[in-house]
Amino acid sequence: MSVVSVEVASAAGVSETREDFRDACTAKRPGRPGSSMTSDSLFKTVLYASAVFMLLLLGGIFVTLAIDSVPAFKEIGFSFFTDTAWDPVFKKYGALVFLVGTLLTSFVALAVSVPFSLAIALFLGEYFKEGAFSVFLKSAVELLAGIPSVIYGFWALFVLVPLMQNIEMKLGVVPYGVGILTASLILAVMIIPYSASISSDVISLVPSDLKEAALSLGSTRFEMIKKVVFPYARSGIAAGTLLALGRAIGETMAVTMVIGNANRLPTSIFSPSNTMASIIANEFAEATETEYIACLIQVGLLLMVVTLIINVIGRCIINRMGVEH
């Protein structure tokens, strides 16, 4: 606190001259041009404008995506969402494959990640709230969250893909190596830190009198977690999982590198496919025709709407629970 009080002294008392002080005292009176009132209102305008800028930015992003995808919608209409053929050479643009690919990779990744993120959440939020183990695991989670997505993709391409090829060979399926499952596995690793940290925050918020009541009635810690912690933290954990899902859906680079880039509906969990994000990453820079670009932008719009819905639901639950994150 001592540092802070020095700040106050230097800002308000010591450095101000008598004139400044008088100015400040009379600042609220109208009709004094050049007084600090004008600088105050200017400052408030700047703050207000910056806040409104956020609204305009988001609005601008939506409007841009919508306007730029109009040519695609005019040309193709609703079959864009139901057609499985994507072949720009023959002007066939159906995005269903990418929608399916995105949802499939994300949900498989989520299913893989849930046991791990729940375990970490319980570890950090319930069993070992402090101590060396907790600090260690927390740092590991933060490290994982900090690694750039392109490096996950690179690593997966050179380590995970050969491994998957071996497994696929043993299982007797076509050993592509790349494909939905490979993408899902790397995605799972990428989203675990995210859902784990939200869930552990929620779990550590469970009131200890509730937990102690359960323990005092003779329940074991496992029973207490099952009957008190989980029901109490249920919606928060669900929200953390939803936000992780939103992240998985929008994740681009790692998926692009290991999904296999095949524009057809996946026949099994091992088959190569494409997601909404990966098709944009792969084809946007080489698209030249207006219609082609417009179709890719429409895929982007679709991707944004899907993540938006998931994120808004997740955020609303979290905000209602009062978790600061």
Partner 1 sequence: MDAGIRFRIIKDRIFLGAVILFSFMLLLPLLLILYYIVVNGIGVINWEFLTSLPRPMGEMGGGIINSMVGTLMLVIVASLFAIPPGVFAGIYLAENKTGKLVNTVRMCVEILQGIPSIVIGIIAYAWIVVTMGTFSALSGGVALAIMMLPVIVRSTEETMKLIPDTLREASLALGVPYSRTVLKVIVPAGVTGILTGVLLGIARIAGETAPLLFTAFGSPFMNTNIFKPVDSLPLLIFNYATSPYPHWHNLAWGASFVLVVFVLGINFFAKMVARRWKVQF
Say if residue 101 is exposed, middle or buried (CB neighbours under 10 Å; 0-12, 13-18, 19+). buried
CB nearer to partner 1: give 21 or 81.
21
Contacting partner 1 within 74-103 (CB under 8 A) = none
State which of residues 99, 100, 108, 141 lies at the interface with partner 1 (CB under 8 A). Answer: 141
Contact 280, 299 (CB under 8 A): yes
Q: Is 137 in the site for partner 1 (CB under 8 A)?
A: yes
CB nearer to partner 1: give 48 or 81.
48
CB nearer to partner 1: give 152 or 292.
152
| Three-class DSSP category at 92 | strand
State which of residues 246, 260, 266, 272 lies at the interface with partner 1 (CB under 8 A). Answer: 246
Q: Where does this chain touch partner 1 (CB under 8 A) — which range of 143-151, 173-181, 201-209, 263-271?
A: 143-151
Q: Is 66 in the site for partner 1 (CB under 8 A)?
A: no
Residue 44 CB, shortest distance to partner 1, in Å, is: 7
Q: How far is CA 86 from the centre of its chain?
A: 28
Residue 171 CB, shortest distance to partner 1, in Å, is: 22
3-state helix, strand, coil in the chain (%, to 5): 75, 0, 20
Q: Is 242 in the site for partner 1 (CB under 8 A)?
A: no
- Tell me, residue by residue from 25 to 64, as one string, x for binding to partner 1 by CB under 8 A and - for no binding: x-x--------xx-xx-xxx-xxxxxxxxxx-xx-xx--x
Contacting partner 1 within 146-165 (CB under 8 A) = 146-155, 157-159
Q: Is 7 in the site for partner 1 (CB under 8 A)?
A: yes
Contacting partner 1 within 260-319 (CB under 8 A) = 277, 280-281, 284-285, 296-297, 300, 303-304, 307-308, 311-312, 315
Choose among 228, 197, 193: nearest CA to 213: 228
Written as six digits, the tokens of 2 are 């001592």
Contact 120, 192 (CB under 8 A): yes
Distance CA 81, CA 46 (A): 43
Choose among 33, 47, 105: nearest CA to 257: 105
Written as six digits, the tokens of 45 are 């305008």
